């Protein structure tokens, strides 16, 4: 059985997809970009504030599904510039508990709304 997860504490979808789907004991969170939930505007200031906002958005979606960042088992990170990887890594590492999720990180040519990063996650329900 699948259940759509929605919350106003994270940006609404900008296309035909759900913020997340809960299925078979897992939560699949769609890729999140650094949009401020209330205004829908991109967070400025570069990679660091954008990283914080993306993880904050993911956390809000997971909470709406009854989960949290400590339950994340896999992330996929899309960076526009892999030279940002060390700065991203420092911030990312602070958000996850002792058991870090599996992760893939790739450089992409462009992201929606010209975001500098996007992250999708799979977590335990």
Q: What's the angle, vertex CA 86, arms to CA 111 and CA 34, rounded to 5? A: 35
C-beta atoms surrounding 44 within 10 Å: 9
> Does the global pTM surpass 0.85?
yes
Range of the domain at 74: 2-124
Mean pLDDT over the full length of the chain = 97
Rounded Cα distance between 115 and 44, Å, is: 9
| Per-residue pLDDT at 19 exceeds 90 | yes
Buried/exposed 11-38: b ≥16 CB within 10 Å, e otherwise: beeeeeebbbbbeeebbbbbbbbbbebe
Q: Indicate the number of domains in the chain.
A: 1
H or E stretch covering 39: none
Torsion of CA 20, 104, 55, 65, to 10 degrees: 30
Best CA proximity match to 4, nearest among 21, 24, 16, 17 = 21
CATH of the domain at 106: 3.30.1330.40
pLDDT tens-digit map of 79-106: 999 999 999 999 999 999 889 999 999 9
pLDDT value at position 97?
A: 80
């Amino acid at each position: 059985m699948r259940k759509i997860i929605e919350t106003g504490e994270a940006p609404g979808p900008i296309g035909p997809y759900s913020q997340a789907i809960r299925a078979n004991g897992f939560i699949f969170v769609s890729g999140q970009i650094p949009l401020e939930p209330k205004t829908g505007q991109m967070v400025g200031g570069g990679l660091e504030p954008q990283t914080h906002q993306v993880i904050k958005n993911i956390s809000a979606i997971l909470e709406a599904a009854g989960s949290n960042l400590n339950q994340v088992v896999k992330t996929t990170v899309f960076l526009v510039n892999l030279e940002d990887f060390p700065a991203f890594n420092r911030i990312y590492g602070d958000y996850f508990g002792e058991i870090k999720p599996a992760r893939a990180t790739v450089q992409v040519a462009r992201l929606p709304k010209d975001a500098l990063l996007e992250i999708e996650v799979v977590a335990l329900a």
